[in-house]
Amino acid sequence: MFREEDLTFERVERLNEDGVLLHDKKVVSDEQVLEMYQWMLKARLLDEKLLRMQRQGRIGTYAPYSGQEAAQIGSVFALEKSDWICPSYREHAGNMVHGMPLEQIILYAKGHLHGGRVPEDVNILPVQIIIAAQTLHAVGTAYAQKYRGEKHVSVSYFGDGATSQGDFHEALNFASVYQVPAIFFCQNNQYAISVPVEKQMASKSIAQKAVAYGMPGVQVDGNDVLAVYEVMKEAVERARNGEGPTLIEAVTYRLGPHTTSDDPTKYRSKENVEPWREVKDPLRRVRLYLENSNLWDVEKEKAFVQTFQDELDHMIDEIESKEKEFPKVEEAFEYVYQEKNAQLEEQQAEARRIREEGDWHE
C-alpha cells in the first residue's frame, strides 16, 4: 500500500544562512572550508566576467551558474581526480575544481573549435548540450569502470528540467539494475528555462524519484557547501564500495537567466529573486562562517578578488589577441569521422567558399 510518509525526505543542512553550524558535527576542516570558499569566489567572478563579455559581444550565448557554486564545488571536493564528471553546459565551477584549465573554459565560451577539448589527465567528458543525455554517459563510464574492476566513480550533473526526460529515467533504471558506481546529482535551481518546478512535476521532490528505481535518494540544501560535501562523500563511498548508485537533489537557485537568450523577468518577480540573492546566497553564508572563525576578512577578500581578476583579464587579453589565428569554420569537418566521406567533403568546400566570400561573420 502506498504511504505518503515514504516519499518524505528531510533536507540535509549543516550551515545556516547566517554562517552558523547547526550542530557540532563537521566533516571538513576549516582549511578545507576556506579552500572551498576561494574556489566559489573564483567561480562567481568568472561567471560575472563571462556574462559581461556576452553582453559586450565578445562571446556567444552563455548559461550563467551564479547561485549554484556550493552545489558544484561542494560535491566535486568529495571526488578523487580519477573519478569522472559528465557535465551539462552549466558546470564550469565544478569543472574548474576537477582540473579543467581556465583557459579552456574561456576558449569554449569564445566558440574556439578546440575549446571543448579536455586535457588527457582530466576526467571530464565534453560539455553535453542535449538535456539529460549526460546521465546515460555517466552510466556508461561507471559500467566500464565496474567491468574493469576499477574503484572510480562517475557523476552526472543536470538540472531539474532533465528529470522530465526519458534519458534520466533510463539511466537510473540501468544504473540500479546493474549496480554501477554512478551518482546522479541534480541541481534543482527551481526553473527549467521558464517553467517553475511545481509546474514541471507533481512529485514533492526530485529525491523521491530514486524510490522507483531501488536506489537511495537524498535531498540537500544546495546552497550549503558543507552539507553538499557530506552528502556527496557518503554517496561516493557507497559507489566506490560496490553498493550502487545514488540520486542527490541539491535544492538551489539560478540567480541569473537560463541563458543570455532568456529574460527571467518574464516569469519571475524581483521579490522572488531577492531573498536568494541577498540572504540565501551560498557565498554569503560561507564568508560569514570564515569571518566568525577569524579566517577571512574584508582586506583578504579584496586582495584575493584583485589577484584573480588580474589573472583572468590577462588570460582573456592573451586569447583575444590571437583571435585572428582561431581555426576556420571549415576545419570543424575534420573532426566528424576519422575519414571524411563525400558528403562531408562537399559541405566543407561549401563552408570554405561562404567564409571566403564573406557571406557570414565568424
Q: Are the C-beta atoms of 219 and 249 separated by less than 8 Å?
A: yes
The pLDDT of residue 67 is 98
Q: Which one-letter amino acid corresponds to residue 37?
A: Y
Please list the pLDDT of the chain residue by residue as tens digits (362 residues): 556 666 778 899 999 999 999 987 778 999 999 999 999 999 999 999 999 999 999 999 999 999 999 999 999 999 999 999 999 999 999 999 999 999 999 999 999 999 999 999 999 999 999 999 999 999 999 999 999 999 999 999 999 999 999 999 999 999 999 999 999 999 999 999 999 999 999 999 999 999 999 999 999 999 999 999 999 999 999 999 999 999 999 999 999 999 999 999 999 999 999 999 999 999 999 999 999 999 999 999 999 999 999 999 999 999 999 998 999 989 999 999 999 999 999 999 999 999 888 765 54
Inter-axis angle of helices 166-177 and 133-148, to 10 degrees?
A: 20
- Specify the pairing of strand 191-192 against strand 195-196: antiparallel
Q: Rounded to an integer, what distance in angstroms lies between the CA atom of residue 337 and that of residue 235? A: 37
Q: Rounded to an integer, what distance in angstroms lies between the CA atom of residue 89 and that of residue 95? A: 10
The pLDDT of residue 20 is 95
The pLDDT of residue 26 is 78
CA neighbor of 312 nearest in space, from 73, 56, 40, 45? 45
CA neighbor of 71 nearest in space, from 226, 278, 205, 286? 226
- For the chain, which domains are there? 7-325 (3.40.50.970), 328-362 (no CATH)
**Among positive and negative, which fits the CA dihedral 188, 208, 269, 165?**
positive
The pLDDT of residue 4 is 64
Q: Rounded to an integer, what distance in angstroms lies between the CA atom of residue 89 and that of residue 62? A: 9
The pLDDT of residue 119 is 96
The pLDDT of residue 23 is 84
List the catalytic residues: 254, 258, 267
Question: Helices (DSSP H) in the chain: which residue ranges?
Answer: 30-55, 69-76, 92-98, 102-109, 133-148, 166-177, 197-200, 225-240, 270-278, 282-292, 298-320, 342-357
The pLDDT of residue 211 is 94
Return the bridge partners of 195, or none: 192
**Residue recorded with cell 575519414:** 339
Helix (H) or strand (E) segment spanning residue 187: strand 182-188
The pLDDT of residue 161 is 97
C-alpha cell at 84: 569522472
Q: Are the C-beta atoms of 152 and 83 separated by less than 8 Å?
A: yes
Task: Please tell me whether the overall predicted TM-score, pTM, comes out greater than 0.85 for this model.
Answer: yes
Inter-axis angle of helices 30-55 and 225-240, to 10 degrees?
A: 110
The pLDDT of residue 8 is 76
